[in-house]
């Protein structure tokens, strides 16, 4: 079935980019597990394909599917989320400056500060919850503004529309890492961003069984440049991964609805718990940017951050006691996970920066899965008893 932007999210999730297989009628896009394609005469190729690093039908189906879900013209898939991020950085040249939101994913921070800094690209951290700070930090060398919202792990919400305006006024392009929200809850291109980045490893994949990344854009020229780097650097996903992600996007809307519902119940339960100092969830009225979240998101996601009374000792006790929540890094899968950012995911962030961001020893991050909410709440209750 051919889909258009008029179709609803669920219809596009299941059908966009996917036609019944022309040779057999198979309803699922086959896993075209092949590196190369036979030519009938030198340079004469059958369809659009000659070599799978350049293009592969299973990957094309996924790229078109993700483009449709983000409301973009073009999708490009990569072997991981950080590979996708690195490709965006290749739009820059030595001497250029990047503004990065201060509470950015650790791997993104490392890529900017420790890999691309060597190539003469300067990175400045900005608290983008105040878009005026973006305007203040812009200068003629600033070519890219990198936003992540909600952020990890403090779940700050950044106004994509206002930050995009500020960046464009100063002549920079805007990339938004939309991993935490997923395309079901937030579409940055419609809010003025130029590039959307995903770690498909998380909600898009949703089953904690594959690593991948994606970029979605509208602009023809930006697409051509990113596609050229995809071909030239070759950080493309495996064909089997493309199939797994295509299988996953078919249920993205259903999973996200349950993630949001469960996360709200968990956040409300923990808000009333005596062992907890503070609960951070964009869906709570107490969240400092709740109004912006309401404006730019269709739901508040599956991530909940809590501050425990009693610091490290209390956190350790809780994390050793959970039974349904898995103590592990990563997020966005059907199974609930819980972790301690200061020791685990954010250990590479300098202690001084962690303190500034509020990533303390009492901070615990939950990725609320789609199990039964009552069981999740019972598990948290016993872990805090």
Per annotation, catalytic residue among 12, 59, 74, 105: 105
- Pick out residues in 101-130 that bind ligand PLP (CB under 6 A): 105, 107-108
Which residue, 82 or 256, is less far from ligand PLP as judged by CB?
82
Among 204, 211, 216, 306, contact with ligand PLP (rule: CB under 6 A): 211
Which residue, 52 or 199, is less far from ligand PLP as judged by CB?
199
**Contact between 271 and 279 (Cβ < 8 Å):** yes
Nearest to 72 by CA among 226, 229, 250: 226
Minimum distance, C-beta of residue 153 to ligand PLP, in the bound complex (Å) = 10
Question: Measured between alpha carbons, how far is 157 from 103 in angstroms, rounded to an integer?
Answer: 10
Per annotation, catalytic residue among 49, 53, 110, 133: 53
Query: Around Cβ 94, how many Cβ atoms within 10 Å?
Result: 9
Whether 381 is catalytic is no
C-alpha dist (Å) from residue 295 to 132, 172, 385 = 19, 24, 37
The counts of H helices and E strands in the chain are 14, 14
Stretch that binds ligand PLP, among 125-133, 182-190, 196-204, 373-381 (CB under 6 A): 196-204
Q: How, if at all, do strands 97-101 and 122-126 pair?
A: parallel
Stretch that binds ligand PLP, among 173-181, 233-241, 258-266, 302-310 (CB under 6 A): 173-181
Q: How crowded is the C-beta side of 349, counted as CA atoms within 13 Å? A: 26
Minimum distance, C-beta of residue 272 to ligand PLP, in the bound complex (Å) = 29
Question: Measured between alpha carbons, how far is 101 from 132 in angstroms, rounded to an integer?
Answer: 13
Whether 133 is catalytic is no
Strand segments, DSSP code E, in 56-95 are 74-78
Among 60, 96, 177, 361, contact with ligand PLP (rule: CB under 6 A): 177
Minimum distance, C-beta of residue 200 to ligand PLP, in the bound complex (Å) = 7
Among 3, 152, 186, 208, contact with ligand PLP (rule: CB under 6 A): 152
Judged by CB under 6 A, the number of residues near ligand PLP is: 16
Among 60, 70, 148, 241, contact with ligand PLP (rule: CB under 6 A): 148
Helix (H, G, I), strand (E, B) or coil at 262: helix
Crossing angle (nearest 10°) for helices 373-384 and 252-271:
40
Residue 159 contacts ligand PLP per CB under 6 A? no
Minimum distance, C-beta of residue 302 to ligand PLP, in the bound complex (Å) = 12
Stretch that binds ligand PLP, among 42-50, 56-64, 77-85, 163-171 (CB under 6 A): 77-85
Whether 32 is catalytic is no
Residue 179 contacts ligand PLP per CB under 6 A? yes
Minimum distance, C-beta of residue 128 to ligand PLP, in the bound complex (Å) = 15
Query: Around Cβ 234, how many Cβ atoms within 10 Å?
Result: 12
Question: Measured between alpha carbons, how far is 34 from 225 in angstroms, rounded to an integer?
Answer: 26
Residue 66 contacts ligand PLP per CB under 6 A? no
Minimum distance, C-beta of residue 122 to ligand PLP, in the bound complex (Å) = 21
Among 202, 346, 354, 365, contact with ligand PLP (rule: CB under 6 A): 202
Residue 181 contacts ligand PLP per CB under 6 A? no
Nearest to 147 by CA among 209, 96, 211, 194: 194
Residues 6+ apart with CB under 8 A from 52: 32, 34, 35, 36, 59, 236, 239
- Pick out residues in 82-101 that bind ligand PLP (CB under 6 A): 82
Residue nearest to ligand PLP as judged by C-beta position: 81
Dmax over CA atoms of the chain, in Å, equals 74
Phi, psi of 160 (to 5 degrees): -60, -40
Residue 363, H or E segment? strand 363-367
Per annotation, catalytic residue among 103, 177, 194, 379: 177
Whether 194 is catalytic is no
Question: Measured between alpha carbons, how far is 214 from 152 in angstroms, rounded to an integer?
Answer: 19
Which residues are the active-site residues?
A: 53, 105, 177, 202
**Could you list the residues that contact ligand PLP (CB under 6 A)?**
80-82, 105, 107-108, 148, 152, 177, 179-180, 199, 201-202, 211, 213
């Amino acid at each position: 079935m051919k889909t258009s932007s008029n179709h609803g999210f669920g219809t596009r999730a299941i059908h966009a980019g996917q036609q019944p297989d022309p040779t057999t009628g198979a309803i699922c896009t086959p896993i075209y597990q092949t590196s190369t394609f036979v030519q009938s005469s030198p340079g004469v190729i059958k369809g659009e394909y000659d070599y799978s690093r350049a293009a592969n039908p299973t990957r094309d189906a996924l790229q078109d599917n993700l483009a449709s879900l983000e409301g973009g013209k073009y999708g490009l898939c990569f072997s991981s989320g950080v590979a996708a991020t690195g490709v965006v950085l290749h739009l820059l040249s030595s001497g250029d400056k990047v503004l990065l939101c201060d509470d950015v994913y650790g791997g993104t921070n490392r890529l900017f500060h420790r890999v691309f800094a060597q190539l003469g690209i300067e990175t400045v951290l900005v608290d983008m919850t105040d878009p005026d700070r973006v305007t203040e930090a812009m200068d003629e060398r600033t070519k890219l503004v990198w936003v992540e919202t909600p952020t990890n792990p403090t779940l700050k919400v950044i106004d994509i529309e206002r930050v995009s305006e500020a960046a464009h006024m100063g002549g920079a392009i805007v990339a938004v890492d939309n991993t935490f929200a997923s395309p079901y809850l937030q579409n940055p291109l419609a809010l003025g961003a130029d590039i959307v980045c995903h770690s498909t490893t998380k909600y898009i994949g949703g089953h904690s069984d594959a690593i991948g990344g994606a970029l979605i854009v509208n602009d023809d020229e930006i697409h051509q440049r990113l596609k050229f780097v995809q071909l030239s650097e070759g950080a493309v996903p495996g064909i089997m991964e493309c199939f797994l992600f295509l299988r996953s996007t078919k249920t993205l809307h259903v999973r996200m609805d349950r993630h949001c519902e469960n996360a709200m119940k968990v956040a409300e339960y923990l808000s009333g718990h005596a062992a907890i100092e503070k609960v951070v969830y964009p869906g709570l009225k107490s969240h400092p940017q709740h109004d912006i979240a309401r404006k730019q998101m269709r739901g508040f996601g599956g991530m909940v951050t809590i501050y425990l009374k009693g610091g490290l000792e209390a956190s350790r006790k809780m994390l050793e006691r959970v039974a349904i929540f898995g103590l592990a890094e990563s997020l966005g899968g059907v199974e609930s996970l819980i972790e301690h950012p200061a020791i685990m995911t954010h250990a590479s962030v300098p202690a001084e920066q962690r303190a500034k961001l509020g990533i303390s020893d009492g901070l615990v991050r939950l990725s609320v899965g789609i199990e039964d909410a009552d069981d999740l709440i019972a598990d948290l209750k016993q872990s805090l008893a």
